[in-house]
């Protein structure tokens, strides 16, 4: 059994009213200071290139996916969230994914895939929201993951800058 020694209240504290007044003073003071509470989701969080949101796949300007299904992100992923199957193309780049699934429930948003990718094909976008009513609905397939290069451009530039430092 643990005996908790409580501090003895002073006389003024035991009087109760002065403490109430002190509290109300703080409350009134705060009413005139700027508000810090964000009304999410109506007011979304501002993001920057540094924001490491959910991974997304780049679609090049010619409409083809940049990914060549090399499987490096799949291998790098510590949460085993990525599953890729490849197929042959008739373009110069001989291979592209047939299936590219990311189980967003497994994804821990670590960004290893972005770092592993030799093709600038997967980036941590600024998308942060994730909600669904089923588990299956949160396994995103290739169509759900595709984003145009222009959407991802700030992040692409940022990652290039970081890589140049190496």
Partner 1 sequence: MIDSGKQPEIKRVEITVNGKTVQARTDKPLIHACLQAESEVPHYCYHPGLSPVGSCRICQVEVQQGKMPARVMVACRTPVAAGMVVDTESKGAHDSRKECLEFLLKNHPLDCPICDKAGECTLQDYSFAEGQGEGRSVEPRRKLEKRKDLGDVIMLDQERCILCSRCVRFMEEVPETPQLCVAGRGSHSIIETWNNQPLSGNYQGNLADVCPVGALTLKSFRFKARVWNLTKTASSCGECSRGCSTTVEVLRAGEIVRIRPRHDEEVNKWWMCDTGRFALDHFSEVDRLVGACMPSATRGWDQFPVEDGLQVAADMLMAAEKPLIVASPWLTVEEGTELLTLGRQLNGRVAFVSPAQNELADDLLHTGDPAPNRRGLTDLGFEALSPEEILSAASEHSSILCIGERVASLLGEDGFNSLPSATRVLLFDCALPAAQEVGNSPIDLAIGLATSAERAGHWVNIDGIRRPILQARPAPTGVWNTVRLLQNLLGLLATREIQS
> What are the residues binding ligand SF4 (CB under 6 A)?
67-73, 84, 116-117, 119, 121-122
Provide the minimum distance between the beta carbon of 88 and partner 1 in the complex, in angstroms, as a whole number.
5
Phi and psi at 40, nearest 5°, equal -75, 140
- Residues of 105-118 as b/e, b for ≥16 C-beta within 10 angstroms? eebeebbbbbebbe
Rounded (5°) CA angle 55-158-166: 105
Q: CA–CA separation, 119 vs 146, rounded Å?
A: 15
Provide the minimum distance between the beta carbon of 146 and partner 1 in the complex, in angstroms, as a whole number.
19
Taking CB under 8 A as the rule, which mask of x and - marks residues 54-83 in contact with partner 1? Answer: --------------xxxxx-xx-------x
Nearer to ligand SF4, 30 or 160 (CB): 160
The interface region with partner 1, picked from 3-11, 38-46, 92-100, 146-154 by CB under 8 A, is 92-100
Report the relative pairing of strands 146-148 and 55-59 from DSSP bridges: parallel
Residues that bind partner 1 (CB under 8 A): 68-72, 74-75, 83, 85-88, 93-95, 118-119
């Amino acid at each position: 059994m643990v005996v908790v020694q409580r501090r003895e209240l002073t006389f003024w504290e035991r009087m109760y009213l002065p403490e109430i007044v002190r509290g109300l003073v703080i409350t009134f003071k705060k009413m005139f200071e700027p508000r810090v509470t964000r009304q999410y989701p109506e007011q979304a969080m501002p993001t920057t290139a540094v924001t490491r949101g959910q991974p997304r796949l780049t679609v090049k300007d010619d409409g083809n996916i940049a990914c060549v299904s090399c499987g490096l992100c799949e291998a790098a992923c510590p949460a085993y969230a990525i599953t890729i199957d490849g197929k042959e193309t008739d373009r110069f780049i001989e291979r592209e994914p047939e299936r590219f699934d990311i189980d967003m429930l497994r994804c821990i948003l670590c960004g290893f895939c972005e770092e592993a990718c030799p093709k600038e094909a997967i980036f941590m976008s600024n998308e942060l929201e994730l909600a669904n009513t089923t588990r299956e609905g949160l396994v995103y397939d290739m169509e759900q993951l595709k984003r145009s290069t222009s959407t991802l451009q700030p992040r692409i530039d940022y990652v290039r800058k970081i890589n140049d430092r190496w």
